[in-house]
Amino acid sequence: MTQSSRFPHINLDKQSSSMLRVFLAAMLSIPDLIKKKRDGGKLNDGDIKSFVEALTSGSIQDCQTGAMLMAIWQQGMDAHETATLTKEMMLSGDVMSWPGEWAGLVVDKHSTGGVGDKVSLVLAPALAACGCKVPMISGRGLAHTGGTLDKLESIPGFSIHQSAEQVRAILSSVGCCIVGQTETLVPADRILYATRDITGTVDSLPLITGSIISKKGAESLTALVLDVKFGRAALYKDLHSAKELAHFLVKAGNELGIRTGAVLSRMDGVIGRSVGNSLEVIEALDLLKGGGQQDLMELVTTLGALLLVMTGLAADQSEGRRKISQAVIGGGALLKFQAMMEAQGVAKETARALCCAHADYFKILRKAKNQLDLTASRDGVLMDMDGLILAEVLHKLGAGRSKAGQPINHSVGAELLLSLGQKITKGTPWLRVHCEEPTPSPDQIQRLQSALVLGSVADWKRQSLVQEVMLPF
The residues that touch ligand IUR, with contacts defined as CB under 6 A, are 139, 202, 208, 211-212, 235
List the catalytic residue out of 120, 154, 211, 278. Answer: 211
List the catalytic residue out of 47, 108, 150, 386. Answer: 108
Residues 6 or more apart in contact with residue 72 via CB below 8 angstroms: 37, 201, 204, 206, 207
Comparison of 212 and 408: residue with beta carbon closer to ligand IUR:
212
What is the C-alpha radius of gyration for the chain, rounded to an integer number of angstroms? Answer: 24
Taking alpha carbons only, the member of 327, 331, 303 closest to residue 317 is: 303
Q: Is 367 annotated as catalytic? A: no
Query: Alpha helices of 60-163 — where are they, by DSSP H?
Result: 62-75, 79-90, 119-129, 148-152
**In which element (H, E) is residue 301 found?**
helix 294-311
**452: phi then psi, degrees, rounded to nearest 5:** -80, 120
291/386 Cα distance (integer angstroms)? 24
List the catalytic residue out of 109, 259, 273, 323. Answer: 109
Q: Is 215 annotated as catalytic? A: yes
Residue 123 Cβ vs ligand IUR, minimum distance, rounded to whole Å: 17
Residue 188 Cβ vs ligand IUR, minimum distance, rounded to whole Å: 12
Q: Is 110 annotated as catalytic? A: yes
Using Cβ positions, the residue closest to ligand IUR within the complex turns out to be 211
Q: Is 172 annotated as catalytic? A: no
Residue 264 Cβ vs ligand IUR, minimum distance, rounded to whole Å: 16
List the catalytic residue out of 84, 148, 201, 260. Answer: 148
**354: phi then psi, degrees, rounded to nearest 5:** -70, -30
Comparison of 212 and 385: residue with beta carbon closer to ligand IUR:
212
Q: Is 211 annotated as catalytic? A: yes
Q: Is 216 annotated as catalytic? A: yes
Question: Could you tell me if residue 120 is left (phi over 0), alpha (psi between -120 and 50 degrees) or otherwise beta?
Answer: alpha
Comparison of 188 and 235: residue with beta carbon closer to ligand IUR:
235
Residue 220 Cβ vs ligand IUR, minimum distance, rounded to whole Å: 17
Comparison of 180 and 380: residue with beta carbon closer to ligand IUR:
180
Residue 119 Cβ vs ligand IUR, minimum distance, rounded to whole Å: 15
**In which element (H, E) is residue 285 found?**
helix 277-288
Residue 210 Cβ vs ligand IUR, minimum distance, rounded to whole Å: 8
**DSSP for 348-373, written as a single string:** HHHHHHHHSTT--HHHHSPPPSEEEE
Q: Is 148 annotated as catalytic? A: yes
Comparison of 34 and 208: residue with beta carbon closer to ligand IUR:
208
Q: Is 203 annotated as catalytic? A: no
Comparison of 121 and 212: residue with beta carbon closer to ligand IUR:
212
Number of neighbours of residue 198 by Cβ within 10 angstroms: 10
Which letter does DSSP use for residue 396 in this model?
A: I
| Catalytic (active-site) positions | 108-111, 148, 196, 211, 215-216
